[in-house]
Chains A and B, each alone.
Chain A
Amino acid sequence: GEDVEQSLFLSVREGDSSVINCTYTDSSSTYLYWYKQEPGAGLQLLTYIFSNMDMKQDQRLTVLLNKKDKHLSLRIADTQTGDSAIYFCADLLGDDYKLSFGAGTTVTVRA
């Protein structure tokens, strides 16, 4: 959407690291999220980061947040074929807990 922007496509070789980038506009965002959507499925929450954190690591996933630049990234280490999906960045707006999503980055993992 207008509030959250992502690059649309990423191709990565199996075993390499993937980095997906996102920028957002609302400086009052308190929580930022990464969701994964596999073909024909709903969205699955991968991880989140609170706005007072710079980094969060969860197994193969590393989230980096640069609040000054309003930039969020998701790094997937040792990317596997099962990681092929669309990845959405989202931020939480306002008191009504409305999630605003980016357009999604389609990640294709090649052998």
Chain B
Amino acid sequence: DTAVSQTPKYLVTQMGNDKSIKCEQNLGHDTMYWYKQDSKKFLKIMFSYNNKELIINETVPNRFSPKSPDKAHLNLHINSLELGDSAVYFCASSQDEEGLVKGYTFGSGTRLTVV
């Protein structure tokens, strides 16, 4: 069983479209995250949710809207896609203080290409 699963794995879409990426974790973790990895492999946190509550909201365009229907799911919806949104998006989860020693568990990523 995959611990943190993201869908789709690849997403190619045109500029201006709206798309969603889904993430589910079956680890029972309390906190979930979205990270963006750019073409230079630099990883930057976008959002985190703890028990469906938004905890971290970095400087991200408001075209990006996370949604957490329950603590096992954190989806990312992106409106009006732009070329600069092309990146690999990683979902991750952690179990609060236990996460300090076990770190985050990452999904395998969604490669978004905007053309």
Contacts and interface: CB of A to CB of B under 8 A. Distances in A.
Interface residues of A, number: 25
B34 interface: no
B87 to A, nearest CB: 14
Interface of A: 1, 30-31, 33, 35, 37, 40-45, 48, 86, 88, 92, 96-101, 103-104, 106
Contacts, number: 61
Interface residues of B, number: 26
B44 A98 contact: no
Contacts of A37: 41
A31 B45 CA distance: 17
Interface of B: 4, 31, 40-45, 48, 55-56, 90, 92, 94, 96, 99-109
B26 to A, nearest CB: 15
Given A1-B44, A92-B100, 17 more contacts: A31-B101, A33-B103, A35-B103, A40-B108, A41-B108, A42-B90, A43-B104, A48-B100, A48-B101, A48-B103, A97-B100, A98-B48, A99-B45, A99-B104, A103-B40, A104-B42, A106-B41
